[in-house]
Structure 1
């Protein structure tokens, strides 16, 4: 008895199935995979960032110079103080002549009067209590002496305040009167200034 021919029939069936599978359309790719691929294509490559330079510390600003604060002056200090002006060339006013009684009685407060110029040479002597000359000294004209007293028109003078030497000279040969007039005006202005200060208090 002969065996049935199974091999050719099975081979034919396998061939038909394989052809059917090849004719089927391929399935579309998964949506997630497509999105991932599109995103990967759109992302640009990262740029290389150069390292930043270190920040320089700010330069020190110059300190402002301190301003000097001026002390607040009181109203009294702002007022200009009136200082007695120096007297001009002395003149023999009537007030002065009355004070010295026309040069016959000069007040003792005038003596000793320094810086009296003499117009003639002098010889100074230091006398003992008995009137004997202990020392002598000469002084040329034009020098200054100290007036110690006046009797009549005779002026007693000395070369200095502490000297024991004495000499006499006529009043007309000195500038004693001008010195007294200057002193009189100076003291007069000083008294007026002191009186003004007392009134302001």
Structure 2
């Protein structure tokens, strides 16, 4: 029996639609600028998608409400299709996620050529809905996000520059992709600010919707 200095943290996990089982999260990989229109709104006319990451414990699951983060005055929403990797290394399920971003910290990091960790990988920065196992219901499904009932983001999954299968293949060139890895596949145009008490609803056609409220800190 291992004599721990202190008890290990619980493994982050996602619920699985229609099942009592849970999906244990090993790590979170994210794709940036995977929708051309979003790349343009961020000032990149012909951007190539790229990877960054969030820690596994950034996941906010089970309809919990994330706390509005410290150290930012410009928190942004980014609705995303999330892929879940299974034991055979393939994509076994899908969920709706939201990449919360401290945009002011990201802008400062970009200006100085520094990493984005504080802008992207902070506590509770990855709200995620329940996982739907199996094939993606519709590769051309809509993806959308509303804030307090107002539509902010709306697009289609087939607007992605890299498809989910291409994302997985590219990720394998960089990492030993394993079961428990989540991949956030990028966001369509329309990203914008969130305020404390804002109610967010995110949808991808055929998947369990994601709903949360930003709790004041």
The two structures share one fold, judged by TM-score above 0.5: no
TM-score, normalisation: structure 1: 0.22
Higher gyration radius (CA): 1
TM-score, normalisation: structure 2: 0.21
- Greater strand share, 1 or 2? 2
Q: Which one has more relative contact order, counting CA pairs under 8 Å at least 6 apart?
A: 2
